[in-house]
Amino acid sequence: MRYYENLFIVHPNYEQEKLTHTIEAAKKEIANLNGTVLVIEEWGKRRLAYPIEKQKYGSYVLVQYESENQKINLELEAWMKLRTEILSYMTVALDSKPEPHSADANETNKNDRD
């Protein structure tokens, strides 16, 4: 089993409902490509390092998944390239299975940053 992490940026003008729909579509596409989603994190709207399609902000979403399909990254990125709501994306292979994050750990990290 191989483990992957995909970070994609959704257009900042989309409402929460459209963002949720985009995340669900990504989950379905991973399932269609014989992958299993392990972790999904919405990082929220953040400033981009450089403008993408004249946008200075974007909604970041992290998806960690596993699959036996070795071409899943190419197929998923080809699918994302066709989606107008996704500004950018990047996929990396992980060395080990990602650990699910608990809500308490996220709150602790958030408080540490403030």
CB neighbours of 72 closer than 8 A, spacing ≥ 6? 4, 30, 33, 34, 35
Helix then strand then coil, % of the chain, to nearest 5: 35, 45, 25
Each residue's pLDDT tens digit, 50-101: 999 999 999 999 999 999 888 898 999 999 999 999 999 999 988 888 877 6
Task: Give residue 99's pLDDT.
Answer: 79
Domains located in the chain, CATH noted: 2-113 (3.30.70.60)
What is residue 96's predicted lDDT score, i.e. its pLDDT? Answer: 84
What are residue 49's phi and psi, to 5 degrees? -65, -30
> Residue 111: is its pLDDT beyond 50?
no
Q: How confident is the model at residue 103 (pLDDT cuts 50, 70, 90)?
A: low
- Alpha carbon distance 90, 57 (integer Å): 17
Q: Is the pLDDT of residue 106 over 70?
A: no
Sign of CA dihedral 104, 110, 111, 113: positive
